[in-house]
């Protein structure tokens, strides 16, 4: 079945250690994408999604502007973060591993998400499904190397970033899927 991400009911969030004593959390306000879910043969499933990096939101305008700058996301040159799956593997029960190419800041790396499929629900005549996915990446591997050292000699921003995605997707009618191909 083909699905479209319901951006109103979905979230892409991240968490990173700051000064190695606290965690800064944020999210992106604009995301979109499509999935194909084959419950009988998960290897036939796939996902393609993109996040508008300019929509970063950490609840601090000054920090958000800094994160859009050349030292981090460089959104003037790289406004989108994309993910395209290359492998979906069923683990057990509702648990899956989704491996794919993450492109961010002009760099593409293969990453793997630990995902949980929450199942489906019919609401208002529309079939919906839910998924959560988590991973960690090293921001320096994506060319985001700005990590000022504080006067005390500590790293201001950790290299490791936790990513968590909560998706609600809406089933696409067969006619719309055929028209899009």
Q: Residue 126's pLDDT is what?
A: 94
Residue with tokens 């009618």: 173
How far apart (Å, rounded) are the C-alpha atoms in residues 41 and 89?
Answer: 9
Encode pLDDT of 54-92 as tens digits.
999 999 999 999 899 987 899 999 999 999 999 999 999
**Percent of the chain residues topping a pLDDT of 90:** 72
For 32-59, write each residue's pLDDT tens digit: 999 999 989 999 999 999 999 999 999 9
pLDDT digits (tens, 9 = 90+) for 113-124: 999 999 999 988
Structure confidence at residue 159 as a pLDDT band (50, 70, 90) = confident
Q: Which of 44, 47, 52 is nearest to 129 (CA)?
A: 47
pLDDT score for 17:
86
Mean of pLDDT over the chain = 89
pTM of model > 0.85: yes
Q: What's the pLDDT tens digit per position in 4-35?
A: 999 999 999 999 987 778 899 999 999 999 99
φ, ψ (nearest 5 deg) of residue 146: -70, 110
Per-residue pLDDT for 179 more than 60? Answer: no
* 3-class secondary-structure state, position 78: coil
Q: Where are the domains of the chain?
A: 2-180
Which of 115-124, 153-162, 166-175 shows the lowest per-residue confidence on average (mean pLDDT)?
153-162
Q: Which residue has the tokens 């190397």?
A: 145
For domain 2-180, give the CATH superfamily.
Lipid/polyisoprenoid-binding, YceI-like (2.40.128.110)
Which long-range contacts does 100-106 make (Cβ < 8 Å, 24+ apart)?
A: 100/47, 102/137, 102/142, 104/53, 104/73, 104/78, 104/142, 105/72, 105/73, 105/74, 105/78, 105/142, 105/143, 105/144, 106/74, 106/77, 106/78, 106/143
Q: What is the pLDDT of residue 155?
A: 60
Both structure tokens of 40: 């009988």
């Amino acid at each position: 079945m083909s699905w479209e991400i319901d951006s109103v009911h979905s979230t892409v969030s991240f968490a990173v250690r700051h000064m190695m004593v606290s965690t800064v959390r944020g999210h992106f306000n604009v995301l979109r994408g499509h999935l194909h879910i084959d419950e009988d043969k998960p290897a036939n499933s796939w996902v393609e999604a993109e996040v508008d990096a300019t929509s970063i939101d950490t609840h601090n305008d000054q920090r958000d502007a800094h994160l859009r700058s050349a030292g981090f996301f460089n959104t003037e040159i790289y406004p989108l973060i994309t993910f395209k799956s290359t492998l979906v593997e069923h683990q057990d029960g509702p648990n899956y591993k989704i491996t794919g190419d993450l492109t961010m800041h002009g760099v593409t790396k293969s990453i793997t998400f630990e995902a949980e499929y929450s199942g489906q629900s019919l609401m208002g005549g529309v079939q919906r499904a839910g998924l959560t996915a988590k991973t960690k990446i090293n921001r320096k591997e994506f060319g985001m190397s700005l990590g000022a050292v504080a006067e005390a000699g500590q790293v201001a921003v950790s290299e490791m970033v936790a990513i968590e995605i909560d998706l609600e997707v809406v089933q696409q009618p067969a006619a719309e899927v055929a028209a899009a191909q």
